[in-house]
Amino acid sequence: MAHPVSFDASRLDVLMPMHVLVSADGIVRHAGPTLKKVHPGREIVGLPFFDLFERRRPGDPMDIRRFCRTVGAKLSLRLRDPDRTTVTGIAICLEGDDGVLVNLSFGIAVVEAVARFGLAGSDFAATDLTLELLYLVEANAAAMEEASKTGARLAGAKDAAEAEALTDPLTGLDNRRGLDIALNRLISRGTRFALMHIDLDYFKAVNDTYGHAAGDLVLQRVAASLRAITRGGDVVARIGGDEFVAVFMRAADETQLAELAGRLIARLEEPVQIGDSVARISASVGVTATNLYARPELDRMIKDADAAAYASKRRGRSCYTLVHHDRALTEPPGDGGRAGSGAEEAGVRPDDAMPGTVDAAAAVGRGPAG
pLDDT tens for each residue of 267-302: 999 999 888 889 999 999 999 999 888 888 999 999
**Helix/strand/coil for 76:** strand
Could you give the 3-state DSSP secondary structure of residue 362? Answer: helix
Q: pTM of the predicted model, to two decimals?
A: 0.52
- Which has the higher per-residue pLDDT, 182 or 252? 182
Confidence of residue 64 (pLDDT cuts 50, 70, 90): low
- Phi and psi at residue 177, to the nearest 5°: -65, -45
pLDDT at 165 over 80: no
Q: What percent helix, strand, coil does the chain show, rounded to 5?
A: 45, 20, 35
Cα–Cα distances (Å) from 279 to 126, 140, 203, 274, 366, in that order, read 82, 63, 9, 7, 8
| Predicted pLDDT at 346 | 33
- What's the whole-number mean pLDDT along residues 40-55? 88
Residue 339 scores a pLDDT above 60: no
- Torsion of Cα atoms, 356 then 231 then 192 then 323, to 10°: 10
Looking at residues 26-48, what average pLDDT do you find?
A: 89
Taking a C-beta distance cutoff of 8 angstroms, is the pair 315, 337 a contact? Answer: yes
Query: If residue 31 lies in a helix (H) or strand (E), which one and from where to where?
Result: strand 28-31
